[in-house]
Structure 1
Amino acid sequence: MEHYERKIELFFELKGTPESSRKSYRRRMHSFLKYIQEKDITIEEVTDEDAQQYILHLKNVRGLSPGTINNYISSVRFFYTYVLDREWNSRKVPRMRRPVKFPVIPPREDILKMLDETTNLKHKAFFVLIYGSGLRVSEVAKLKIKDICSRTMRIRVEKAKHNTNRYTILSETALQILRLYFKSYFANIPYTKEDWLFPGQDKKDLLVLKQ
Structure 2
Amino acid sequence: MNHYEQEINLYFELKGTPESSREAYLRRINAFVNFMQDKHKCREDITESDIQQYILYLKKEKGLSPGTINNYISAIKFFYTCIVDKEWNPKKIPRMKRNRKLPVIPPKQDVLAILNATANLKHKAILVLIYGSGLRVGEVARLKICDICSKSMRVRVENAKHNTNRYTILSDIALRCCESISRHT
Q: TM-score range by the shorter chain?
A: over 0.9
Per-residue Cα deviation, 1:93-152 (whole angstroms, up to 9, x for no partner): 111010121332222121111111112222211110011101122221222333222232
Query: Residue by residue, what CA displacement relative to the aligned partner does 1:62-85 show, whole Å, maximum 9, x if unpaired?
Result: 111101110110000000010011
Measure, in 2, the Cα distance between the counterparts of 1:29 and 1:7: 12
| 1:30 CA drift (Å) | 1.0
Query: What residue is the counterpart of 1:79 in the other structure?
Result: 79
Identical columns (%): 61
TM-score by length of 2: 0.93
User: What displacement does 1:182 show?
Assistant: 4.0
CA distance in 1 between counterparts of 2:42 and 2:170 reads 54
- Structure 2: distance between partners of 1:152 and 1:100: 34
User: Where do 5+ consecutive residues of structure 2 fail to align?
Assistant: none
Q: In the alignment, does 2:159 pair up with 1:154?
A: no
- Show the counterpart of 1:8: 8
- Amino acid of the structure 1 residue aligned with 2:156: R
| Cα distance in 1, alignment partners of residues 58 and 120 from structure 2 | 43
What corresponds to 1:21 in structure 2? 21
SS at match of 1:25: helix
Distance 2:132 2:31 in 1: 39
Q: Which has the higher helix share?
A: 2
Is 1:36 aligned to 2:40, yes or no? Answer: no
What is the distance in 1 between the residues matched to 2:91 and 2:5?
A: 28
Residues 122-137 of structure 1 mapped to structure 2, 5 A cutoff: 122-137=122-137
TM-score by length of 1: 0.82
Q: Which residue of 2 aligns with 1:55?
A: 55
1:165-192 deviations in Å (ceiling 9; x for gaps)? 10111112101112323444xx3xxxxx
User: Secondary structure at 1:63's aligned position in 2?
Assistant: coil
Q: What is the number of residues matched between the two proteins?
A: 185
Provide structure 1 residue ranges, at least 5 long, that are not aligned to the other structure.
Answer: 188-211
Worse-matched range after superposition: 108-117 or 70-79: 108-117
SS at match of 1:168: strand
